[in-house]
Amino acid sequence: MNTDTTTLKQILTRAKREVSKVIIGQDRVIDYALIAIFTGHHALVEGVPGVGKTLLVRTLAHILGCEFSRIQFTPDLMPADITGTNVFNLKENSFSLVKGPVFTTFLLADEINRAPAKTQSALLQAMQEKNVTIDREPHTLSENFTVFATQNPIEYEGTYPLPEAQKDRFLLKITMDTPTLEEELDLARKIIGREAPEKTLAAGRVKQVLDSRTLTAFRSILEKILIKDELIRYCVDIIRGTRTHEAVLTGAGPRGTQAIILSARALAAVDDRDFVTPDDIKQMAVPALAHRMMLRPEYEIEGLTVREVIRDILTNVAVPR
């Protein structure tokens, strides 16, 4: 590997080591979160309450030296609570902007599917264009602006499905599963001592490995990761397969192709390579496409899942040699 990609690998390794001080297990989840950050895109994090979704994002913001804001989404949250609003100042006899929590680098949209679609859509422009419009005036956000939106599984009480247009803005859907027996025992032992995850982060035992300015520079390194033309065709074939599968009502669009290519290149860097392999594409297909597809109701009733459909598509698309 060349010097640039080796340095990126070192940074990613250090970042994973620091996150693991707080997050027990979840190694691939951490990889996927770093992939979303280093590609300059956003991630949807799904899991049952208590698996560490919020703590993961707080920890990532700390180790990467980025400003952090959190929004707790509730049914009565309004769009202005996210973007901010102009308030009349009596002393100066003029309006002044009171910025909302969206003016940050890392935004944690906590339990985003507990708010109705009108409020969820307030993030669309910010996620796509990295600016927001308040009273017809555009305002630019940080070039490293990243949204991590956590959500409880859709079957949970009090949740709203995310609009299709908003789900498509997320590069990856990261699923945080419950820990294994050994991991849960390790966590339980740490909770009673000084090594409890929240205490570890609050006590400053998690080190910062980067700052926001350096983060921007490292993103350009990913462009040097080689992906051959036949692998790009492989990605396109997978996406087109999502549109023709008998169980799929709505397949992935062109952003799905972009998501697989970008995330596969970043995964190659995480795994210390300067080239993409078919296995990288296969591994990133599920997190890149799971939230972009909708199954036909009759297949959902039978218990078929999107993940199973994606794996079926992967077995039927020819892998380049």
Residue 173: is its pLDDT beyond 80?
yes
What DSSP element (H or E) covers 276?
none
Query: Domain-by-domain residue ranges, the chain?
Result: 3-220, 225-321
Q: What is the pLDDT of residue 235?
A: 96
- pTM, whole model, 2 decimals? 0.86
For the stretch 186-226, pLDDT in tens is: 877 777 766 777 777 776 788 888 877 778 777 777 888 89
Residue 158: is its pLDDT beyond 70?
no
Nearest alpha carbon to residue 241 among 162, 163, 319: 319
Q: What is the pLDDT of residue 48?
A: 78
Q: Output 150 or 214, whichever has higher pLDDT.
A: 150
- Distance (Å, whole) CA 244 – CA 184: 41
Secondary structure, 3-state, 165-200: HHHCCEEEEEECCCCCHHHHHHHHHHHCCCCCHHHH
Q: Decide: helix, strand or coil at residue 117.
A: helix
Kindly state the greatest CA–CA separation across the chain.
71
DSSP states of 9-26: HHHHHHHHHHHTTTS-S-
φ, ψ for residue 83, nearest 5 deg: -85, -30
Using pLDDT thresholds of 50, 70 and 90, give the confidence band for residue 1: very low
Burial of 136 (0-12, 13-18, 19+ CB in 10 A): exposed
| CA of residue 93 relative to chain centroid, distance | 42
Q: Decide: helix, strand or coil at residue 60.
A: helix
Q: What is the pLDDT of residue 289?
A: 95
CATH homologous superfamily, domain 3-220:
P-loop containing nucleotide triphosphate hydrolases (3.40.50.300)
Q: What is the pLDDT of residue 243?
A: 94
Q: Decide: helix, strand or coil at residue 44.
A: strand
For the stretch 93-136, pLDDT in tens is: 888 888 999 999 999 998 888 887 778 778 888 888 888 888 88
- Are 3-220 and 225-321 in the same CATH fold? no
Q: Is the dihedral of CA 59, 210, 12, 268 positive or negative?
A: positive
Q: Which whole number is the average pLDDT over 240-262?
A: 93
For the stretch 284-311, pLDDT in tens is: 999 999 999 999 999 989 989 999 999 9
For the stretch 4-18, pLDDT in tens is: 656 777 888 888 888
φ, ψ for residue 89, nearest 5 deg: -100, 110
Angle, CA 182 vertex, CA 177 and CA 188 arms, to 5°: 85
CATH homologous superfamily, domain 225-321:
Magnesium chelatase subunit I, C-Terminal domain (1.10.8.80)
Residue 156: is its pLDDT beyond 60?
no
- Distance (Å, whole) CA 121 – CA 209: 33
